[in-house]
Amino acid sequence: MSRPKAIDLFSGCGGLTLGLKQAGFRVIGAVEINSLAVETYKVNHKRVHVWEKDICNLSIAEVKRKLNLKPGELDLLAGCPPCQGFSTMTTLNGKYTSDDPRNDLVFQFLRFVRGLRPKAIMMENVPALAKDRRMTEMLAQLESLGYKCTTDILNAQHYGVPQRRRRFILLAGRREKISFAREARIKPVVRDAFAKLGSSARLDPLHNYKEKRTESVRKRIRSIPSNGGSRFDLGEKHQLKCHQAFDGFKDIYGRMRWDKVAPTITTGCFNPSKGRFLHPTRHRAITLREAALLQTFPASYFFSLERGRILAAEMIGNALPPEFIRRHARKILEALNG
């Protein structure tokens, strides 16, 4: 029996694709505009046809012809349209509306639904999208096409991911509603993720690199208590002047805790000035490999460093946690088989 087919729109470096494959889907096509993400994706998912282009310029006819698909044959259309325009940082926690043109890319997802008529749909994004007029319109359009939709804002830490990560998720079925996965009984923490490093870590360029920090910053990091300490433990006298002037961003220069989940892994995940990204006990920020493990990528997953660590960190921070996707994709598979 052949595995059900899926297409990944806005695929990034492949976190969603990996989760779908782990659930039992055969991903046959992907669309991504970022060349570095495409390079990374192709190394990890060699058998998937990737369109490296603006999705607005990709015709449904070309996709159907290349993948030999007729409307209604595709089992799952999945994707995460770029979410930067909806993020709380962009909108200052919802205080104003962003006019980022990327916000309208959700309608490109809808265009593919109309053209391919997949049996099931999965779309993931930041929580702010749930209350945006575009999502209201999209849900109405999906229902007019006969899809039965389920939406919610879920936290990845309840689904086998060792980090706090709240995400909006939409599941839809052409025949029936599809429920979300049950919450995991065992919830991994930072210690569990880092235990997967293995002996090969010393040869891993994503893990084995030296940080460039001034002696004063290194001294400050060494002074922060292990296992959950923060800059507030140093007292005001020993904090940076820029930190003394305001009371926000409390996680800056904070350590993770071994037996807690990590904070949300962001594009600044290897920089302690961007959040609680210091190692629980070692006097350094977490490495990019450790960040990827907290995202539930396997230790062997390739990330291109062709353009430096900052852009590699962007791929990791923007990725969908494969384990979060895998669990919900299993529910889609159950519905399709049922």
> Which pLDDT value is given to residue 118?
98
Any idea which fold 5-184+320-337 has? Rossmann fold (3.40.50)
For the record, the structure tokens of 299 come out as 């230790």
Q: Which of 86-100, 150-164, 249-263 has the lowest mean pLDDT?
A: 86-100
204-227 b/e with 16+ CB inside 10 Å = b? bebbeeeeeeeeeeeebbeebeee
Mean pLDDT of 94-104: 56
Q: Report yes or no: 153 and 131 within 8 Å, Cβ to Cβ.
A: no
Mean pLDDT, rounded, for 164-179: 96
**Mean pLDDT over residues 118-128, rounded?**
97
Q: Among 3.40.50.11540, 3.40.50.620, 3.90.120.10, 1.10.1040.10, what is the CATH number of 190-317? A: 3.90.120.10
Q: What type of residue sits at position 300?
A: S
Residue spans of the domains in the chain: they are 5-184+320-337, 190-317
Lowest-confidence region among 13-17, 102-106, 115-119:
102-106
Query: Rounded to an integer, what distance in angstroms lies between the CA atom of residue 277 and that of residue 253?
Result: 7
Q: How far is CA 95 from CA 101, 130, 134, 192, in A?
A: 18, 16, 18, 37
Strand partners, 171: 122, 150
Residue 236: pLDDT band with limits 50, 70, 90: low
Side chain identity, residue 190: V
User: Where residue 246 falls among pLDDT bands split at 50, 70, 90?
Assistant: low
Q: Which of 83, 149, 242, 269 is catalytic?
A: 83
Q: How confident is residue 175, by pLDDT bands cut at 50, 70 and 90?
A: confident
Least confident of 44-48, 87-91, 110-114, 119-123: 87-91
Reported as a pLDDT band with limits 50, 70 and 90, residue 103 is confident
User: Is 56 a residue of the active site?
Assistant: no
- Do the beta carbons of residue 301 and residue 18 sit within 8 Å? yes
The pLDDT of residue 83: 66
